[in-house]
Amino acid sequence: MKKTSLFLLSLLAGGLVMAQSSKEVSWSCSAKKIADKTYEVHMIATIGGDYHLYAQDAGGEGPIPTTFTFTKSPLMTLDGPVREKGQLVKKNEAAWGHDVKYYEKTVDFVQVVKLKTNVKTSLAGKVEFMVCDDHQCLPPADVDIKVNIGG
Protein backbone atom coordinates (compact mmCIF):
# COMPACT_ATOMS: atom_id res chain seq x y z
CA MET A 1 0.00 0.00 0.00
CA LYS A 2 2.83 2.39 0.87
CA LYS A 3 4.51 1.74 -2.49
CA THR A 4 1.27 2.44 -4.36
CA SER A 5 0.70 5.68 -2.44
CA LEU A 6 4.28 6.81 -3.01
CA PHE A 7 4.03 5.99 -6.74
CA LEU A 8 0.77 7.95 -7.10
CA LEU A 9 2.24 10.90 -5.19
CA SER A 10 5.32 10.96 -7.44
CA LEU A 11 3.09 10.86 -10.55
CA LEU A 12 1.07 13.79 -9.24
CA ALA A 13 4.21 15.79 -8.42
CA GLY A 14 5.68 15.00 -11.83
CA GLY A 15 2.48 16.16 -13.52
CA LEU A 16 2.59 19.43 -11.61
CA VAL A 17 6.20 20.03 -12.66
CA MET A 18 5.35 19.22 -16.30
CA ALA A 19 2.54 21.77 -16.20
CA GLN A 20 4.97 24.45 -15.05
CA SER A 21 6.68 24.84 -18.46
CA SER A 22 3.48 25.80 -20.22
CA LYS A 23 2.65 28.23 -17.39
CA GLU A 24 5.92 30.11 -17.91
CA VAL A 25 5.20 30.74 -21.61
CA SER A 26 1.94 32.02 -23.03
CA TRP A 27 1.26 31.68 -26.74
CA SER A 28 -0.90 33.90 -28.93
CA CYS A 29 -1.51 33.32 -32.62
CA SER A 30 -2.75 35.50 -35.47
CA ALA A 31 -2.73 35.60 -39.26
CA LYS A 32 -2.00 38.54 -41.55
CA LYS A 33 -2.73 38.55 -45.28
CA ILE A 34 0.40 39.62 -47.18
CA ALA A 35 -0.65 38.79 -50.77
CA ASP A 36 -3.40 37.03 -52.68
CA LYS A 37 -3.95 33.66 -50.92
CA THR A 38 -0.74 34.20 -48.90
CA TYR A 39 -0.65 34.73 -45.13
CA GLU A 40 1.90 35.21 -42.39
CA VAL A 41 0.97 33.23 -39.31
CA HIS A 42 2.45 34.79 -36.16
CA MET A 43 2.94 32.58 -33.11
CA ILE A 44 4.09 34.87 -30.33
CA ALA A 45 5.64 33.47 -27.17
CA THR A 46 5.54 35.66 -24.06
CA ILE A 47 8.05 34.29 -21.56
CA GLY A 48 7.46 34.83 -17.84
CA GLY A 49 9.83 35.64 -15.04
CA ASP A 50 13.55 35.15 -15.58
CA TYR A 51 13.02 32.19 -17.89
CA HIS A 52 14.26 31.96 -21.46
CA LEU A 53 12.92 29.96 -24.40
CA TYR A 54 15.35 28.14 -26.65
CA ALA A 55 15.55 28.98 -30.37
CA GLN A 56 14.68 26.46 -33.09
CA ASP A 57 18.43 25.99 -33.49
CA ALA A 58 19.30 25.98 -29.79
CA GLY A 59 22.93 25.09 -30.50
CA GLY A 60 24.50 21.76 -29.63
CA GLU A 61 23.17 18.96 -27.50
CA GLY A 62 21.27 19.53 -24.28
CA PRO A 63 18.50 22.10 -24.48
CA ILE A 64 15.32 21.13 -26.29
CA PRO A 65 14.85 23.49 -29.24
CA THR A 66 11.48 25.07 -29.99
CA THR A 67 9.86 22.88 -32.64
CA PHE A 68 6.68 23.43 -34.65
CA THR A 69 4.75 20.53 -36.15
CA PHE A 70 1.82 21.42 -38.42
CA THR A 71 -1.08 19.22 -39.45
CA LYS A 72 -1.03 18.62 -43.20
CA SER A 73 -3.92 20.09 -45.18
CA PRO A 74 -4.84 19.70 -48.85
CA LEU A 75 -6.00 23.34 -48.79
CA MET A 76 -2.60 24.95 -48.14
CA THR A 77 1.16 24.68 -48.34
CA LEU A 78 3.82 25.96 -45.99
CA ASP A 79 6.15 28.41 -47.73
CA GLY A 80 9.58 27.95 -46.19
CA PRO A 81 10.58 27.29 -42.60
CA VAL A 82 9.31 29.06 -39.48
CA ARG A 83 11.28 32.32 -39.02
CA GLU A 84 12.13 33.89 -35.66
CA LYS A 85 11.75 37.60 -34.91
CA GLY A 86 13.13 38.77 -31.60
CA GLN A 87 16.26 39.61 -29.64
CA LEU A 88 18.32 36.43 -29.97
CA VAL A 89 20.76 35.80 -27.11
CA LYS A 90 23.80 33.61 -27.75
CA LYS A 91 25.54 32.63 -24.53
CA ASN A 92 27.88 29.98 -23.23
CA GLU A 93 25.99 28.13 -20.51
CA ALA A 94 28.05 26.04 -18.12
CA ALA A 95 25.18 23.58 -17.65
CA TRP A 96 25.40 22.60 -21.33
CA GLY A 97 29.13 23.23 -21.79
CA HIS A 98 28.71 25.23 -25.00
CA ASP A 99 27.00 28.22 -26.61
CA VAL A 100 23.21 28.12 -26.75
CA LYS A 101 20.67 30.43 -28.41
CA TYR A 102 17.50 31.61 -26.76
CA TYR A 103 14.98 34.41 -26.31
CA GLU A 104 13.93 36.31 -23.21
CA LYS A 105 10.57 38.04 -22.62
CA THR A 106 9.10 37.60 -26.15
CA VAL A 107 9.70 36.13 -29.60
CA ASP A 108 7.53 36.05 -32.72
CA PHE A 109 7.68 32.86 -34.78
CA VAL A 110 6.40 33.45 -38.33
CA GLN A 111 5.24 30.83 -40.83
CA VAL A 112 4.18 31.85 -44.36
CA VAL A 113 1.20 29.87 -45.65
CA LYS A 114 -0.16 29.76 -49.19
CA LEU A 115 -3.75 28.72 -49.79
CA LYS A 116 -4.48 26.72 -52.93
CA THR A 117 -7.86 28.47 -53.39
CA ASN A 118 -9.72 31.32 -51.71
CA VAL A 119 -11.12 29.30 -48.85
CA LYS A 120 -11.58 29.78 -45.11
CA THR A 121 -9.54 27.24 -43.15
CA SER A 122 -7.08 27.01 -40.27
CA LEU A 123 -3.47 26.13 -39.69
CA ALA A 124 -3.27 23.65 -36.82
CA GLY A 125 -0.44 21.91 -35.07
CA LYS A 126 1.64 22.01 -31.94
CA VAL A 127 4.75 23.62 -30.55
CA GLU A 128 7.21 21.81 -28.30
CA PHE A 129 9.49 23.96 -26.16
CA MET A 130 11.60 24.10 -23.02
CA VAL A 131 12.37 27.00 -20.69
CA CYS A 132 15.24 27.52 -18.26
CA ASP A 133 16.44 30.22 -15.90
CA ASP A 134 19.83 30.62 -14.24
CA HIS A 135 19.05 27.85 -11.73
CA GLN A 136 16.83 25.26 -13.38
CA CYS A 137 15.20 23.96 -16.52
CA LEU A 138 11.60 22.90 -16.57
CA PRO A 139 10.54 19.77 -18.47
CA PRO A 140 9.59 20.30 -22.13
CA ALA A 141 5.95 21.11 -22.88
CA ASP A 142 3.64 20.78 -25.90
CA VAL A 143 0.99 23.36 -26.71
CA ASP A 144 -1.64 23.01 -29.43
CA ILE A 145 -1.95 25.89 -31.87
CA LYS A 146 -4.74 26.77 -34.29
CA VAL A 147 -4.99 29.90 -36.42
CA ASN A 148 -7.86 30.82 -38.77
CA ILE A 149 -6.76 31.96 -42.22
CA GLY A 150 -8.41 32.77 -45.52
CA GLY A 151 -11.98 33.64 -46.26
- Whichever domain contains 141, its CATH number is 2.60.40.1250
Q: How many separate domains does the chain show?
A: 1
Which of 12-16, 26-30, 83-87, 144-148 is predicted least confidently?
Answer: 12-16
CA distances from 54 to 4, 39, 69, 101 (A): 37, 25, 16, 6
Within-domain flag for 53: yes
- Facing residues of 88 across strands? 103
pLDDT tens-digit readout, 38-51: 999 999 999 999 99
CA distances from 47 to 16, 54, 107, 117 (A): 19, 11, 8, 36
Within-domain flag for 16: no
| Cα–Cα distance for residue pair 105/52, rounded to 1 Å | 7
Within-domain flag for 39: yes
pLDDT tens-digit readout, 79-88: 999 999 999 9
Neighbours of 74 (CB within 10 A): 7
Neighbours of 73 (CB within 10 A): 15
